[in-house]
Structure 1
């Protein structure tokens, strides 16, 4: 959820979807709840988040009630477009959701449950900073219906955390994992590689530390320098080096090797799980093109082929809802060509891949050369599927270009 909203047409003040859009009861429905608060803005972060000094007219202690007004609006909008569907997944992201009291998160979740319903087997995730997770917090989240905690570990090496402006104590990662386990929650650890000054040995240490904690799921993302961030300015001034592409490639290969050795299978370019049951079903819904409604400032939604996104600042978001208006700032409905490109972009990232039969003619002609270059699995291709090799995952963007040009 970057800082810049996409271009698109204006969204109607009442939030209604185009008249011809109908939601399908069989299409899974996910809920994303954005909590845009952080104690400190990390130097690499381009997400729509705010420290206390940046809120200007918005209050954290009123946020849960404000967001629930959007839940009520979504009930009206979706009810006019088809049957209301219970949520298959719910994801609290941020920001730092656990900066809010657990009771506020519980009220938001209860609002989703009373409005749409939540499937009995739903995956309900909360992102958390390690410093904010205690036994009491984890227990209260579990009692509210949360099933999974995604802990922002990022690194086990202090100088790497400092380069990222991460302020948590690395020792608190283990404390947070223990608290989550004690409450019966599944655990995911998030890692970032390629920070200024991070060596391959540093990255190995972080991976080994994460594996030793035996989470159910690990995400490992290459550091991307986003325009407008503190880190981008530091690199432009020559204060710190830019990420090294070759080193990041080595780091990715090391992650895949060590995680595989630790019992984790890759299922998406940057994600590994102990077994299919512990894959992030919420994120898979994005990659598979399901429906979801994103609640909160700057949150994005996808319903029946229509994409829309909310105003960014929490104060503007609250003001729209207080006036009885939709917080949506804009929307778009991609045409068939754009949807086909997006399908290739997203579905080639996951282990199941995508059927070769769904490629357009030129894309099909590229398959043989991609196999010869070691980017696509030849055995899977014989069975009609595009599945990336490890090298293909490193060059996923190039593969997509070849399949869509």
Structure 2
């Protein structure tokens, strides 16, 4: 089942934010994340807040249904406008994720986007992305998305090998994600991402090279590559525990990451975040950059998380509970936390260190500064940016990013 929500203080019924959250907002970008919690089937490795039709049957009825989902989502966008009354920032990036957003009609996704545009306005050149499963779209659907105002697509490819897809419980066939890139280009999408996963039990180095080569040959301008994390409570975790498939291996993950860097760099992709490569600065995912650089975003939908000016909150998880609260005129927020200055300092280090631009050294406490000097000597941080006041990971540092971060936040 999906992971539990964190603890926190209650969210007011009207969703009101403390005055401190609005301070200095004019200097921060504002984004929208829209969560669509529906999937046709549950992938064995997934612990996201998603629901299949079988899981929803009898647990909320019409309130939990896909058919009525856009109505509830639009209501939350209108609530966001009330909570942020007087905030005249246009939205710089919208990201629709899931789940499988493209299980909904393109017109529903268009209604959600139109609500954000009507209530807040979109900045000139705003990035508008939706995730899509390869088997859930066709050229006509993609054309309708483009007409609705979407200008970026992110397809879940994961692997080019059938036996790897089977372990992950992915339903598309090899070759279909690559075809989707061509269909997206034909529909007028300039920016397209392919998501890959490495380290799946049973995947070989050659399997991973084949997946990278297939993704590159398809011609997206962005590739994301993530190490498989086996989450407790998932079907894959249970299969590993029963000995049906081998466990994942950190050394294998490191080797696969090096292969990804080699292949992608040779093809003209540059890393700009540990797990993300793009062909140009314009091809980077601006919505994710907003997360990594401390921007503000409103997360709409069941289980979605938001952050505005040091206040983080999260919505109730179940689609029926979410719709019921909005129908009653209440915020769907389940809990929130107010970040201290120290919380925000640590988060900046955690997130910005993952970027190719790095984190400012002046964020570090004395122990962290000494750790940074050692990391340069150990080949984990680049010496030239360090001399200019920034901590930037080397390739070896990227392999050990979590350990480097732990040392620097002390």
TM-score range (shorter-chain normalised) is over 0.9
Q: CA deviation at 1:240?
A: 1.3
Contact 1:75 1:84 in 2 (8 A): no
- In structure 2, the partner of 1:210 is 215
Q: Give me the TM-score of the superposition, normalised by structure 1.
A: 0.98
What displacement does 1:356 show? 1.1
Is contact 2:298-2:308 (8 Å) kept?
yes
Q: What's the CA shift for 1:89? A: 0.2
The residue that corresponds to 2:172 in the other structure is 168
**Match 1:70 to one of 73, 76, 82:** 76
1:39 equivalent to 2:44? Answer no
Q: Distance in 1 between matches of 2:88 and 2:115?
A: 14
CA contact (8 A) 1:133 1:179 kept: no
Residue of structure 1 equivalent to 2:340: 335
User: What is the match of residue 142 of structure 2?
Assistant: 138
What is the aligned partner in structure 2 of residue 153 from structure 1? 157
Distance 2:108 2:347 in 1: 36
Post-superposition CA distance 1:47-86 (Å, at most 9, x none): 000001112221101000110011111111011xx42321
TM-score of the superposed pair, with normalisation by structure 2: 0.96
Deviation at 1:171, TM superposition (A): 2.0
* Residues 110-119 or 168-177, more deviating: 168-177
Alpha-carbon distance in structure 1 between the residues aligned to 2:124 and 2:372: 41
Is 1:111 the counterpart of 2:115? The answer is yes
1:291 to 296, 303, 326: 296
How many residues were matched structurally? 403
Give per-residue Cα distances to partners, 1:277-313, cap 9 Å, x unaligned. Answer: 1000000100001000000000000011100000000
Runs of at least 5 residues in structure 2 that lack an aligned partner in the other structure: none
Q: Distance in 2 between matches of 1:115 and 1:243?
A: 46
Shift in Å, 1:20? 3.7
Q: Give the equivalent residue in structure 1 for 2:369.
A: 364
Q: Aligned ranges for residues 226-245 of structure 1 at < 5 Å? A: 226-245=231-250
Residue in structure 2 matched with residue 22 of structure 1 by the alignment: 22
Q: CA deviation at 1:148?
A: 0.4
Secondary structure in 2 matching 1:25: helix
User: Secondary structure of 1:9's partner?
Assistant: coil
- Is 1:6 the equivalent of 2:39? no
Is the contact made by 2:178 and 2:214 (CA closer than 8 Å) also made in structure 1?
A: no
* Alignment partners' CA distance in 2, 1:30 and 1:265: 24
State the 4+ residue runs in structure 1 displaced beyond 2 angstroms: none
Q: How much has 1:18 moved relative to structure 2?
A: 1.8
Give the Å deviation of 1:6: 1.1
Which SS does the other structure have where 1:309 is aligned? strand
Cα distance in 2 between the residues matched to 1:257 and 1:385: 25
Q: Does 1:179 align with 2:180?
A: no
**Counterpart-to-counterpart distance in 2, 1:274 and 1:110:** 30
1:401 to partner: Cα distance: 1.1
CA RMSD of aligned residues (A): 1.2
Where 1:219 maps in the other structure, the secondary structure is strand
Displacement of 1:246: 0.6
